[in-house]
Chains A and B, each alone.
Chain A
Amino acid sequence: MSGTYLGMPAFPRAAEMSTRDTQLRANLTHATHTIRDKRAKAVAELDDWAQLRAAGAALKDRTLRHLDHYLERLEAAVTAAGGQVHWAADADEANRIVTRLVRETGETEVVKVKSMATQEIGLNEALAEAGIRAYETDLAELIVQLGHDLPSHILVPAIHRNRSEIRDIFRREMGSWGRPAPEGLTDSPAELAEAARLHLREKFLSAKVGISGANFMVAETGTLVVVESEGNGRMCLTLPETLISVVGIEKVVPSWQDLEVFLQLLPRSSTAERMNPYTSMWTGTTDGDGPRTFHLVLLDNGRTDTLADTVGRQALRCIRCSACLNVCPVYERAGGHAYGSPYPGPIGAILTPQLRGMEGSLEASLPYASSLCGACYEVCPVAIDIPEVLVHLRERVVEGGPVTRGGARTVLKPAKGHAAERAAMRAAAWAFDHPDALRSGMRLAARTRRLHPQRLPGPGRAWSRTRDLPTVPAESFRDWWQRTRGTASERGIWPEHGTSSEQRGDAE
C-alpha cells in the first residue's frame, strides 16, 4: 500500500490481491464475526430498536430535505458561540483552508483524531506538501500511519495487521516520528498500547493545533459531538490552542433532543457497547476551557451531487457505524483496501461512486461488489436500503442517465464497451470465482429475508411513496450475471471471464 488512495486498481483486482492474503482474511473473518455477534446482543437489549431506527432514519431525512436551512442555522449558532465557519466546495478547497489556518498559527505540527472526512480529502498529504506534519493519534490510525499503510475498516482500521506486525512497525518507525519504541518491546497488546501511549503523550502535551472530524453537529445549538474510546479524541479536542474540525455537511442533525436517538443507535451498532467510553460535546469556544480558537470547515466534496439523486441520497444518512461491513460476505473476503476509499464495505460501494462520480473504473465497479443479500440493510441503524441503491447505480453504469457532477446536471453515457463496464463485469466475475462469498451471501439472504422491514415504517412511508423509486426490480445476482454475461459474450467484448481476466490489469 502506498498510503494514498489515488491510483487504486478497480475493485476486482484489488480484491483478488487481498483474497490471496490468508493472514488478512483470517484477521478480517475473526473481527467481523466477533463484532457482529456482540452487536446483535447489544441491540437485543433494547426492545424499541425498530422505533429508534425509524426515528434515526426519519431525522436524517428531515435534515437532508432541508439541508440548506439546517446548515445556515448551524453556522449562526457556531458563530454566536465564538467559532468560525468556513465552507469548502471540494477537497482542494478544504485542504487550502486547513493549510492556511494551520500556517496562521505558525505551527508545523498538528495532532489529529481519526476522521474519515480528512482521509477522503487527503489532508495529511496536502499538509505534508506545505511542510506541516500531521500525527494520527487513534491507536489503529497510528499503526496505519507508521506502517505507510491505508485503513481497512471504519471502526478498527488496522484490523488487517496482527500483533507481531504491529510490534515490528513500532520498533522500526516510532523513532523517526518522535519517541522510539521501548527497548525489548514484545507483541502483547497491553505493551503495544503502552508504547503508543508514551509515544503520543509527547505530542499531545506540546500540540498547539488539533484537527478533528465530528460524528454529529446540532443545528439548533451549534454543538459538535465526537464519539470515541481511547481518549485521544479528548486530547486533541481540549489541549491545543486551536481546533480545526473538518465535517461533511450531512453530519448535521436538527435539535439537541435528536442526540437521544443517535447516541443510542451509534455505540450499539458500532462497538456493540451500551455507550462508548468517551463522548465529547463542545459549542464554539469556552473561556479558559479548551481551545481558544475554533474553526469549523463544512465540506461538500460530492455530497450535494449525492443529495441530487433521489434514490442515492439516503447514503447521506450514514452515521459510519460500520455494522454493514461486518455482515458483508464480499467485504469479509475482499478486505477494506479493495474499495479504494476511506469508506469500505457496502456503504463504500454506494457512497464512493456517488461522491466521486462513476466515470472511473474503480467507481463503476463498486456497485457490483455485492451479492445483494440484504444483510447490510438489515443491520443499518438508519435503515439505508443499500441493495436498492446498488441496483440503481448498476443501472446508471450500464444504461447511463442523468447525474449531477459539481452541482451541474449532466447525462452519464451508458458504459457500453467502456472501461467502466469491463471493470464492473470483472467485479461480477470476481464474486463468481469466490463461491464462498456468493454462497454465504445467499444463505444470509435466505435467513434474513423475512426480517427485512418494508421500507420506512410509520410516517416515513409517505415520503418513501413520493420518492422516485427505481423501476428496475432488485434483480438477483445470479439473474443479473446470466443476463449480462450472455449479452456481453454475444457482443464479443467479453471474451473470457475467470481469474485470468483480472490479471490483465486496468488499462484505464
Chain B
Amino acid sequence: MSSRDVVLARVRRALADVPRGEGPGGLPVARDYHRVHGSRTSAQNVDLLAENLADYRAVVHRTDAEGLPRLIGRLLAERGARTVLVPPGLDESWTAGSDVTLVEDRASSTPRELDAVDSVLTGCAVAIAETGTLVLDAGPDQGRRRITLVPDHHLCVVRVPGQVVGSVPEALPRLAPDRPLTWISGPSATSDIELDRVEGVHGPRTLEVILLAAGAGTGTGTG
C-alpha cells in the first residue's frame, strides 16, 4: 500500500463519526461577515488606501497621466537611481521623463544581475484600501515575481480608482489563482529583535506608491 493510500485510509477511519449522508460541503458555513467594512465612495477608498500604505511606511504620491513621467523622473533622481528594471509590458511613456538606463528583465538574467539594479518600476493588479495592500499578478506591466523583490527600491503605480477595491473579500474575485500572486503591504520589515521594527530585511527597503488618477488634468505630482 502506498503512503497515499495509508494516509487516506487513516483519514477515513478517523472520520467514522461523520454521518454517511453528509457531503463535502455538508457542514454549513455562515458568510454573514461583511463584504466590506463601512461604506465609502471610491474616492474615500483611495484616501484610505493612501492612509494605510503610509501607516506601513510606504511613501505615497498622487498624480495624473500628464504629471506621471515628471514625477517618476523626480523620484528616481532623488534616490540617485541610474538603472531601473522595467517589466516587458510597461507603458513606455511612464519613463519618458527619466534620465536613467532601463533594464529589461529577461528569463536569462540572474538574481545577481537583478541585485545590481537600483530601482524597479511596475504597475499592479489590484489594491486593497482597508489593509493598505498592493497585489501583483505577474501581468505584463508587473513582470516576474523576482523583479520586485531583489532591488532595494520599488516604485509601484496604482490606477485610481479603477484598481482599488475596499476589502480582502472584494479583491479575491478579481484575481486569477493560476497566476503567481504577491501581496505587498508596506516595505519588508522585521520585529524579531526585541520587537523593534526594522524596515527592509530582504525585500525592497523603500516602497513608493504612485496613485495615478484617471482622466486629464493638471499634473500636480505632490508628495
Contacts and interface: CB of A to CB of B under 8 A. Distances in A.
Interface of A: 27, 30-31, 34-35, 45-48, 51-52, 54-55, 58-59, 61-62, 65-72, 81, 86-89, 93, 137-140, 143, 156-159, 162-163, 166, 189-190, 192-193, 196-197, 200-201, 204-205, 218, 221, 223, 229-232, 234-235, 237-239, 249, 254, 256-257, 259-261, 263-264, 267, 271, 273-283, 286, 288-290, 298, 300, 304-305, 307-308, 310, 313, 404, 407, 458-460, 463, 467-468
Contacts of B28: 58, 458-459
A468 B184 CA distance: 43
A36 to B, nearest CB: 12
Contacts of A71: 7-8, 11
A55 B184 contact: no
Dominant secondary structure at the B interface = loop
Highest count of chain B CB atoms <10 Å: which of A166, A196, A197? A197
B93 interface: no
The 6 closest A-B pairs by CB, nearest first: A231-B203, A231-B202, A308-B14, A304-B10, A459-B28, A275-B131
A404 B14 contact: yes
B20 interface: no
B110 to A, nearest CB: 8
A279 B183 contact: yes
Given A189-B196, A460-B27, 7 more contacts: A35-B195, A47-B37, A231-B201, A239-B111, A274-B185, A277-B203, A407-B10
Given A66-B18, A264-B168, A463-B27, A277 B184 contact: yes
A290 B148 CA distance: 13
Given A47-B37, A281-B181, A156 B195 contact: yes
A230 B27 contact: no
Contact of A278 (B6, B17, B115, B184): B184
B184 to A, nearest CB: 6
Nearest to B18: A65
A156 B192 contact: yes
Nearest to A281: B181
Contact of B185 (A52, A137, A275): A275
A275 B33 contact: no
B33 A261 contact: yes
11 contacts: A55-B29, A68-B11, A163-B194, A231-B204, A234-B149, A238-B146, A276-B185, A277-B186, A305-B14, A310-B17, A407-B10
A310 B188 CA distance: 41
A70 B24 contact: yes
A229 B193 contact: no
Contact of B13 (A70, A238, A282, A308): A308
A497 to B, nearest CB: 37
A407 B13 contact: yes
A261 B29 CA distance: 11
Contact of B198 (A190, A239, A282): A190
Contacts of A238: 144-146, 149, 180
A313 B189 CA distance: 35
Interface string B23-54: 11111111111100100000000000000100
A410 B23 CA distance: 29
Contact of B180 (A192, A229, A232, A286): A286
Nearest to B184: A278
Contacts of B26: 62, 65-66
B177 A230 contact: no
A239 B113 CA distance: 13
B198 A304 contact: no
Q: Looking at B13, B144, B198, which has the most chain A CB atoms within 10 Å of its CB? A: B198
A177 to B, nearest CB: 17
B170 to A, nearest CB: 9
B133 interface: yes
Interface of B: 2-4, 6-15, 17-18, 22-34, 37, 52, 56, 107, 110-112, 115, 128, 130-133, 138, 144-146, 149, 168-169, 172-173, 177-196, 198, 200-204
B111 A205 contact: yes
Contacts of B30: 51, 54-55, 58, 458-459
A163 B193 CA distance: 6
B154 to A, nearest CB: 11
Contacts of B11: 67-68, 71, 249, 304, 307
Contacts of B14: 304-305, 307-308, 313, 404
Nearest to A309: B14
B201 A300 contact: no
A189 B17 CA distance: 52
A229 B188 contact: yes
A260 B25 contact: no
A230 to B, nearest CB: 4
Nearest to A256: B177
Contacts of A254: 24-25
Given A221-B178, A234-B203, A259-B172, A31 B195 contact: yes
A431 to B, nearest CB: 27
Nearest to A300: B7
A395 B135 CA distance: 48
Contacts of B18: 65-66
Of the listed residues B25, B27, B169, B185, the one surrounded by the most CB atoms of chain A closer than 10 A to its CB is B27
Contacts of B15: 65-68, 307
Nearest to A72: B8
Max chain A C-beta neighbours (<10 A), residue from B3, B132, B144: B3
Contact of A204 (B10, B12, B111, B169): B111
Given A289-B144, A459-B28, A89 B202 contact: no
A282 B18 CA distance: 32
A305 B10 CA distance: 8
Most buried by A among B9, B14, B18, B202: B202
A230 B203 contact: yes
A235 B202 contact: yes
B180 A260 contact: no
Given A89-B6, A310-B17, A407-B6, A189 B188 contact: no
A136 to B, nearest CB: 12
Contacts of A249: 7, 11
Contact of A58 (B22, B27, B144, B181): B27
Contact of B33 (A51, A88, A463): A51
A457 to B, nearest CB: 8
A66 B25 CA distance: 8
Contacts of A54: 30
Contact of B193 (A192, A205, A304): A192
